């Protein structure tokens, strides 16, 4: 059982996590959230997990590029060049 802040319940915190991370909370709610986080470990954990998801997404490897795809894209450039030439 968490020690929720009476003015900003945990149920509300999970709805404003992204606004908080993006710096889009109004100053009053930002202050309430900072106070809440001093008291509420589960909400700290929730926010850290959300950050962790964003970081992990950033590290997802890009799908590989096949030689066929590479050549097909180059062909588009060559077609355009051929059209451009007198």
Partner 1 sequence: MHADAHTPASEPDERELLAALRGYDEAAFGRFVDQHHGALVRFALVFTGDAAAAETLAQETWAAFVTSLARVPSGSRLKTWLFRSLLGCAGCGRSRTLRSASRDLDARAHAQAAPSVDPARFMTEGVWAGGWSAPPCSFGELGEELRPQLSAALQQLPASQRQVTILRDVEGFSAQEVSELLDLTEPQQRALLHRGRAQLRSALEHYFEQRAGSV
Residues in contact with partner 1 by CB under 8 A are 1-4, 6, 9-12, 14-15, 17-19, 22, 24, 40-43, 45-46, 49-50, 52-65, 69-70, 72-74, 76-81, 84
In the complex, least distance from residue 20 CB atom to partner 1, rounded to whole angstroms? 10
Tokens representing 33 are 């959230």
* Cα gap 37→20, rounded to integer Å: 12
In the complex, least distance from residue 12 CB atom to partner 1, rounded to whole angstroms? 7
Using the minimum distance from each CB to partner 1, give the nearer residue, 34 or 80.
80
- Taking the alpha carbons at both ends of the chain, their separation in whole angstroms is 76
Residue pair 10/2 in contact (Cβ under 8 Å)? The answer is yes
């Amino acid at each position: 059982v968490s020690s929720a802040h009476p003015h900003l319940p945990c149920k509300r915190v999970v709805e404003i996590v992204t606004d908080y991370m993006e710096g889009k909370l109004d100053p009053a709610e930002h202050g309430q959230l900072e106070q809440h986080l001093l008291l509420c470990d589960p909400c700290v954990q929730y926010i850290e997990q959300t950050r962790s998801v964003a970081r992990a997404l950033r590290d997802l490897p890009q799908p590989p590029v096949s030689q066929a795809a590479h050549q097909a894209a180059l062909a588009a450039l060559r077609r355009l060049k051929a059209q451009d030439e007198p």
